[in-house]
Amino acid sequence: MNAPLTSSETAGLARDAAGALLAADGRPVADDFPILARPVRKRRLAYLDNGATTQKPRVVIQALDRFYEQSNANIHRGVHWLSQHATDLYEEARESVRGLLNAPDSQHVIFTRGTTESINLVAQTWGQGLRAGDEILVTGMEHHSNIVPWQLLCARTGAVLRHARITDTGELDLADFKAQLNARTRLVGVAHVSNALGTVNPVAELVRLAHEAGALALVDGAQAVAHAPVDVQALDCDFYAFSGHKIYGPTGIGALYVRGAILKDLPPWQGGGDMIRTVSFDGSTWAEGPQRFEAGTPNIAGSVALGAAIDYVRGIGLDRIAAHEAALLAQATEVMQAIPGVRLIGTAAHKAGILSFLVDGIHPHDLGTILDTEGVAIRAGHHCAMPLMSHFGIPGTARASFALYNDLRDVDALAAGVRKAQKLFGV
């Protein structure tokens, strides 16, 4: 992801008086998202739970409808026109993922249900080669999806899961990360962006250090791909996982990039139709490339709609999106810090559009409930990052997370809701 944006870069954005990001025709991009026009609690919806899932633009909704209305058929095995047409759409979506990640070949892209399934796929295929005493290194800010699959793998193989510490600002302790790497490290798993703090990790450097130690590197890109350009070739990572619903696509679809030389040697992880070359009662042989990992009928419509979401985001421009969200985060940080009793959790120098905080005397769940009465949707809890919360000695936080359709009115609504909660609780 990019370096922190300068004030001149953010000032040059095409935005309206409310700070809304504008499309090429001058409309706020929020107009492309039908759900944002729906009032909540008789209030204008300020949707700030984008770290959990993003809303869907009209083109994605239409892509789903159009597939089932005009293109529905099973793929790869049919000789009739509809099957071939659906196959073409499915593989075009794979090419859209390749373009998003700048992967060298679409055959390095496996469709999965999302980041969690992608990481489990790696654990259950590549992980078959682990032996007792081998080590996997993650960081202290990982989502449970980048912890639990490795714990299960270690329990099966006798390998050891280690984690590198984070600092009190929510940044990775690079010295501790380097100290944890050793000749036994087989894989490094790291979030590109922390879902709980917004910290942007120095992924290219971490991948380089992993490779120098003889380990592979997996990047959890769930919170990165919708917010700034990603280039897996520049990162030089071995695996990169993301979820479609975090980049304005449907739920239940995502992708895993695997470096070509590694993909070639991975065993299949699920058996069934379409992942085979031949089957007999004496044994079976496997398909080449990503099909080896896509057993059964996949989420064809979801893949097509994911392709539409990717095309939509790239059409707006990920650099523009990053600048817009950086401006919103800067404004929200300033406004929230000015409210007495608010404490920010995670103050890394390089952050994406996530603001986690606590309000003295108010439990995050109570705060989230009061904000909801004002039409403000945030997330409250441990954000599937319980070890991270333990590091800070807290059960959870309130988290506001920004997307391309948010604007300064959402920031103002968040701040006003916090002040109302303080008044109600007398703090």
Instruction: Point out which residues pair with 139 in neighbouring strands.
Output: 164
C-alpha torsion sign, points 44, 54, 31, 228: positive
Instruction: Write out the two tokens for 371.
Output: 């904000």
> What is the pLDDT, as a whole number, of residue 13?
75
Q: What gap in Å lies between CA 176 and CA 425, rounded to an integer?
A: 41
Contact predicate 147/387, CB 8 Å: yes
> What is the pLDDT, as a whole number, of residue 369?
97
pLDDT band for position 197 (cuts 50, 70, 90): very high
Q: What is the pLDDT of residues 335-348, one digit of tens each?
A: 999 999 999 999 99
pLDDT band for position 15 (cuts 50, 70, 90): confident
Q: What gap in Å lies between CA 325 and CA 381, rounded to an integer?
A: 23
HSE-CB of 300 using CA atoms within 13 angstroms: 21
- For 209-235, give the DSSP string: HHHHTT-EEEEE-TTTTTTS---HHHH
Q: What gap in Å lies between CA 47 and CA 419, rounded to an integer?
A: 18
pTM for this structure? 0.95
- For 303-351, give the DSSP string: HHHHHHHHHHHHHH-HHHHHHHHHHHHHHHHHHHHTSTTEEES---SSB
- Say whether 280 sits in a helix, a strand or coil: strand
Instruction: Point out which residues pair with 126 in neighbouring strands.
Output: none
> What is the pLDDT, as a whole number, of residue 16?
84
Q: Minimum mean pLDDT among 249-263, 278-292, 312-326: which range?
A: 278-292
| Distances in whole angstroms, Cα of residue 58 to Cα of each of 31, 34, 226, 248 | 9, 7, 17, 10
Contact predicate 301/67, CB 8 Å: yes
Q: Which residues contact 339 (CB under 8 A, 6 or more apart)?
A: 415, 418, 419, 422
Q: What is the pLDDT of residues 323-338, one digit of tens each?
A: 999 999 999 999 999 9
> What is the pLDDT, as a whole number, of residue 274?
87
Element (H, E) at 420: helix 408-425
> What is the pLDDT, as a whole number, of residue 259?
96
> Which residues are annotated as catalytic?
384
> What is the pLDDT, as a whole number, of residue 74?
95
> What is the pLDDT, as a whole number, of residue 12?
54
- Say whether 202 sits in a helix, a strand or coil: coil
Name residue, tokens 């979801």.
302
Torsion of CA 40, 322, 201, 236, to 10 degrees: 120
Q: State percent of the chain over pLDDT 70.
A: 97
Instruction: Point out which residues pair with 362 in neighbouring strands.
Output: 359
Instruction: Over range 9-29, report the average pLDDT.
Output: 82
> What is the pLDDT, as a whole number, of residue 313?
98
> What is the pLDDT, as a whole number, of residue 49?
98
> What is the pLDDT, as a whole number, of residue 361?
97
pLDDT band for position 284 (cuts 50, 70, 90): very high
Q: What gap in Å lies between CA 100 and CA 105, rounded to an integer?
A: 12
> What is the pLDDT, as a whole number, of residue 11?
42
Euclidean distance between the first and final Cα of the chain, in Å? Answer: 39
- Say whether 204 sits in a helix, a strand or coil: helix
Instruction: Over range 92-99, report the average pLDDT.
Output: 98
Mean pLDDT computed over every residue of the chain: 95
Q: Minimum mean pLDDT among 17-31, 143-157, 173-187: which range?
A: 17-31
Q: What is the pLDDT of residues 308-318, one digit of tens each?
A: 999 999 999 99
Instruction: Point out which residues pair with 297 in neighbouring strands.
Output: none
Asked whether residue 8 carries a pLDDT value surpassing 70, the answer given is: no
Element (H, E) at 180: helix 174-180
The burial class, CB within 10 Å (0-12 / 13-18 / 19+), for 276 is middle
- For 54-116, give the DSSP string: ----HHHHHHHHHIIIII----SS--SHHHHHHHHHHHHHHHHHHHHHT-S-GGGEEEESSHH
Asked whether residue 257 carries a pLDDT value surpassing 60, the answer given is: yes
Asked whether residue 161 carries a pLDDT value surpassing 80, the answer given is: yes
pLDDT band for position 387 (cuts 50, 70, 90): very high
Q: What gap in Å lies between CA 48 and CA 325, rounded to an integer?
A: 12
Q: What gap in Å lies between CA 241 and CA 119, rounded to an integer?
A: 7
pLDDT band for position 1 (cuts 50, 70, 90): low
The burial class, CB within 10 Å (0-12 / 13-18 / 19+), for 296 is exposed
Q: What gap in Å lies between CA 291 and CA 89, rounded to an integer?
A: 15
Residue type, 392: F
Asked whether residue 137 carries a pLDDT value surpassing 80, the answer given is: yes
Instruction: Over range 346-365, report the average pLDDT.
Output: 97
